[in-house]
């Protein structure tokens, strides 16, 4: 007997334990496992873009906070005693039972909001008594594990609102185009009555029933003292929603990027500023409507906050109506040919390493290196040009010659420190063309690197703390730290060059911004007019622009200056401006430089000036262009001690460029004074007057055949300091002709090694070897 009693007790405890365990663990976690829409908001929580859930429902991630208005409206409509009961309300159940018996059918379920939440999570279950009992038990369980606010969040996030709209936030945007917190009492009450009968929302149908339900709820709120009479009457006068609104798609490419970053089905708060994003979108689309007439279909723009290392606007592409225009491509993250956009980094690196001074003269003459022959955009030559001017005017030949002097490997490794992810091949793969678009970079990486420049110039220590754009553009993510790559003193001179107003005068489009605030900016154009770049910087912002076609098709007139720069300045007009960068005198040293050459001043430089130069300026060379020459007493002719009295000689310093540089330089610089001629009867000094432009010594030349099958010709070109001199040409010691003033000669030598010898009328001789392949 005792054993039987013990067995019964044991069985009782066992069953009870099982029931308790079942009760405790009966509730699934999470309660809802439906796929969510992917949502991105701006820094203030305002909706930017959304992507429908995988099951075709507009179901936003769980709402952060249920608006007070909705909480009051839904509880008064569905469950007036919500805050008092433990999940089930016996009074409501008895009342519902009575109403159902009197009606002879089910007209009321007596479910609380908690029970309705449970029923929503148990999709497709019948409304039988057994299922009701299960819902009641699970409701008690839900009340134990959640507070009332949490239960309201679950309900508001998963209640049906008609069609494929699930949840309060999605309903608010679909039916009213606003956030739930911005809805009026009339709008809130319209949504509050929908989960009870979601079919009432169909446009053009059931409006009278829907309005009657809404108005009854408004009257109840008035009776309960939640709203006054005026508010109630005004709310009842509000129209019901018509056709559903489109969910905002202000930053669709940013949304795609967020999804790729693993945040599908989540709500991400970005650093974007909604009002600025809308302005940038409008500017981009306005320019697109003009550029599309030239079959230029794609534009990307990004705006960065320099001080906070955040993205304020992200327009990955223009809103082109043509389906095959590449409008879905996020250009901001797409590798494109860089054109000239890397030139400021070369200038900065050379300054900080003591390779040049800010205004060092750089040759701008016909140039060829092992088959690579860069050309300036306008196909002209300046002979020699200041390094700062070459950067401001984006001259190609000086940039290539600077890179050759600096070293491709050196430049490549410096760029890698700036986190250019798509410059990932060995340095020798790119060669000298890397400075003119031979490499590819993304607008994201380029803007990031330019921001590094601005941050360094803002504060020398800032870059080590926060130099790169926040991961995934989220407010909550950590800022990457990067070691300082750029020298602040060198950057000061780079920004001075990039902010000068004497920009490329052969183009138009930027002059309208001449009177605007100071901006350091650079443009770039890739080979074949496929990519147009413009990036600008102030102490507060960096703006990056790309214009072109996503499929790589080039278009006539597509240059960074003509199509990208106008967009850049238009955006800057909408940005806050702060005082320009402080001159970093602590990072610059007084340096005496030659005014004409930009090199360190030598003792024989005619004019010199003191500038504040980067610290490594002492490593640069002395001016190589000033030479001491001897003139007669009238200073008209050059003389020597062999023909003229030393006592009557005038020894003067003269600025002398090499022959080829001089040939082009004096055409554009009227101040340049060529060397005086020698006085009759005086022996000429050992100073070279002739120089070869093409081909250089030991050049290998391939001469193709013409259309008619005959061998083509190669054009040889040299220059002479004195335009009035005749040059006599000899190929393999055989005279082939003479030239006067313009010294070009077409020849068609046979295959093999040849020697060209030139002699001017004064007997000066130059000779070099070349090979015909």
Beta carbons within 10 angstroms of residue 245's beta carbon: 14
- Rounded to an integer, what distance in angstroms lies between the CA atom of residue 277 and that of residue 284? 10
Three-state DSSP string of 66-83: CCHHHHHHHHHHHCCCCC
> For residue 540, what are its two tokens?
């507060």
Which residues neighbour 602 within 8 Å (Cβ) at sequence distance 6 or greater? 594, 622, 623, 626
Read off the tokens for 530: 């496929």
SS3 223: helix
Taking alpha carbons only, the member of 542, 546, 544, 511 closest to residue 526 is 546
User: Minimal CA–CA distance to 181: which of 73, 274, 266, 69?
Assistant: 69
Task: Please pick, among 37, 78, 139, 440, the residue that the annotation labels catalytic.
Answer: 78
Q: Give which of 526, 520, 518 is closest to 542, Cα–Cα.
A: 520
> How far apart are alpha carbons 253 and 260 in whole angstroms?
11
* Annotated catalytic residue, options 309, 340, 388, 474: 340
Count, in order, helices (H) and strands (E) of the chain.
21, 26
Residue 310 neighbours by CB distance under 10 Å: 21
User: Reduced to 3 states, what is the DSSP secondary structure of residue 427?
Assistant: helix
Please say if 609 is a catalytic residue.
no
Q: How far apart are CA 714 and CA 703, in angstroms?
A: 7
Burial code of 159-172, b = ≥16 C-beta within 10 A, e = fewer?
bbbbbbbbbbbbbb
- DSSP string covering 370-384: TTB----TTS---EE
Instruction: Dig out the tokens for 128 from the structure.
Output: 């039988």
Taking the C-alpha atoms of residue 30 and residue 269, their distance in angstroms, rounded to an integer, is: 22
Cα 158 from chain centroid (whole Å): 38
For residue 637, give every residue at least 6 positions away whose Cβ sits within 8 Å of its Cβ, in sequence order, or none: 631, 676, 677, 678, 679, 682
Look up residue 536 and give its two tokens. Answer: 């600008």
Spatial distance between the Cα atoms of 675 and 657, rounded to a whole number of angstroms:
10
Check the CA dihedral 521-548-411-544 and report its sign. Answer: positive
Residues 441, 272, 298, CA angle at the centre, nearest 5°? 45
Among candidates 62, 88, 64, which has minimal Cα distance to 143? 88
30 upstream amide cis, omega within 30 of 0: yes
Q: Decide if 340 is catalytic.
A: yes
Identify the burial level of 344 via C-beta atoms within 10 angstroms of its C-beta, where 0-12 means exposed, 13-18 middle and 19 or more buried.
buried
Residue 122 token pair: 């148990």
| Whether 346 contacts 642, CB under 8 Å | no
Cα 750 off chain centre by: 53
Calpha distance 76→64 (Å, rounded)? 22
- Calpha distance 528→337 (Å, rounded): 10
Say if strands 38-41 and 47-51 run parallel, antiparallel, or are unpaired. antiparallel
For residue 160, the 8-state DSSP code is B
Residues in the chain: 773
Q: Using an 8 Å Cβ cutoff, are 554 and 298 in contact?
A: no
Which residues carry out catalysis? 78, 340
């Amino acid at each position: 007997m005792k054993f039987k009693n013990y067995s019964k007790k044991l069985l009782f405890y066992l069953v009870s334990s099982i029931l308790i365990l079942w009760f405790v663990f009966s509730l699934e976690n999470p309660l809802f496992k439906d796929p969510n829409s992917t949502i991105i908001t701006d820094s203030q929580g305002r909706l930017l873009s959304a992507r429908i859930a995988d099951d075709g429902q507009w179901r936003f991630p769980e709402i952060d906070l249920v608006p007070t208005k909705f909480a009051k409206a839904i509880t008064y409509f569905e469950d007036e005693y919500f805050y008092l009961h433990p999940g089930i309300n016996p009074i409501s159940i008895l009342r519902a039972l009575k109403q159902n018996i009197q009606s002879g059918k089910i007209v009321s379920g007596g479910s609380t909001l908690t029970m309705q939440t449970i029923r929503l999570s148990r999709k497709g279950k019948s409304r039988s008594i057994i299922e009701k009992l299960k819902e009641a038990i699970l409701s008690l369980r839900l009340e134990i594990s959640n507070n009332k606010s949490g239960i309201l969040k679950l309900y508001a996030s998963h209640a049906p609102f008609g069609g494929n709209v699930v949840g309060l936030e999605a309903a608010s945007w679909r039916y009213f185009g606003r956030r739930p917190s911005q809805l009026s009492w009339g709008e809130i009450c319209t949504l509050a009555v929908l989960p009870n009968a979601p079919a009432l929302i169909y446009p053009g149908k059931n409006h009278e029933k829907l309005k009657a339900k809404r108005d009854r709820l408004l009257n109840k709120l008035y009776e309960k003292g939640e709203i006054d009479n005026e508010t109630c009457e005004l709310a009842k006068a509000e129209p019901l929603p018509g056709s559903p609104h489109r969910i905002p798609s202000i930053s669709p490419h940013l949304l795609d990027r967020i999804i790729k970053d693993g945040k599908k089905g989540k709500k991400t708060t970005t650093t974007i500023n909604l009002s600025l994003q809308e302005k940038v979108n409008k500017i981009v689309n306005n320019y697109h409507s003009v550029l599309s007439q030239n079959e230029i279909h794609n534009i990307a723009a990004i705006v960065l906050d320099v001080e906070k290392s955040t993205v304020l606007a992200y327009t990955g592409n223009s809103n082109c109506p043509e389906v095959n225009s590449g409008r879905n491509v996020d250009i901001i993250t797409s590798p494109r040919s860089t054109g000239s956009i890397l030139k400021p980094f070369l200038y900065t690196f050379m300054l900080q390493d003591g390779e040049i001074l800010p205004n060092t003269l750089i040759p701008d003459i016909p140039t060829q290196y092992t088959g690579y022959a860069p050309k300036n955009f306008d196909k002209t030559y300046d002979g020699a040009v200041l390094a700062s001017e070459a950067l401001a005017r984006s001259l190609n030949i000086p940039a290539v010659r600077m890179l050759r002097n600096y070293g491709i490997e050196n430049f490549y490794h410096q760029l890698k420190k700036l986190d250019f992810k798509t410059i990932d091949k060995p340095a020798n793969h790119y060669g000298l063309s890397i400075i003119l678009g031979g490499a590819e970079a993304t607008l994201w990486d380029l803007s990031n690197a330019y921001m590094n420049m601005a941050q360094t110039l803002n504060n020398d220590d800032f870059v080590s703390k926060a130099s790169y754009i926040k991961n995934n553009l989220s407010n909550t993510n950590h800022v990457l730290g990067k070691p300082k790559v750029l020298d602040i003193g060198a950057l000061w001179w780079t920004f001075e060059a990039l902010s000068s107003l004497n920009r490329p005068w052969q183009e138009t489009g930027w002059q309208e911004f001449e009177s605007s605030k100071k901006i350091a900016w650079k443009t770039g154009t890739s080979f074949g007019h496929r990519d147009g770049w413009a990036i600008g910087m102030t102490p507060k912002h960096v703006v990056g622009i790309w214009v072109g076609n996503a499929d790589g098709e080039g278009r006539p007139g597509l240059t960074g200056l003509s199509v990208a720069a106008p967009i850049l300045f238009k955006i800057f007009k909408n940005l806050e401006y702060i005082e320009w960068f402080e001159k970093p005198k602590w990072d610059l040293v007084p340096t005496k430089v030659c005014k004409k050459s930009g090199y360190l001043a030598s003792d024989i430089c005619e004019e010199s000036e003191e500038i504040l130069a980067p610290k490594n300026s002492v490593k640069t060379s002395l001016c190589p262009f000033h030479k001491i020459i001897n003139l007669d007493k009238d200073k008209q002719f050059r003389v020597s001690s062999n023909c003229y009295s030393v006592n009557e000689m005038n020894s003067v310093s003269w600025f002398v460029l090499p022959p080829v540089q001089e040939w082009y330089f004096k055409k554009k610089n009227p101040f340049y004074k060529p060397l005086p001629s020698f006085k009759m009867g005086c022996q000429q000094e050992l100073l070279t007057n002739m120089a070869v432009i093409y081909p250089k010594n030991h050049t290998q030349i391939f001469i193709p055949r013409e259309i008619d099958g005959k061998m083509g010709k190669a054009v040889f070109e040299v220059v002479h300091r004195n335009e009035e001199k005749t040059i006599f040409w000899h190929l393999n010691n055989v005279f082939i002709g003479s030239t006067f003033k313009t010294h070009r000669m077409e020849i068609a030598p046979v295959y093999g090694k040849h020697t060209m010898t030139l002699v001017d009328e004064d007997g000066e001789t130059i000779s070099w070897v070349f090979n015909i392949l």
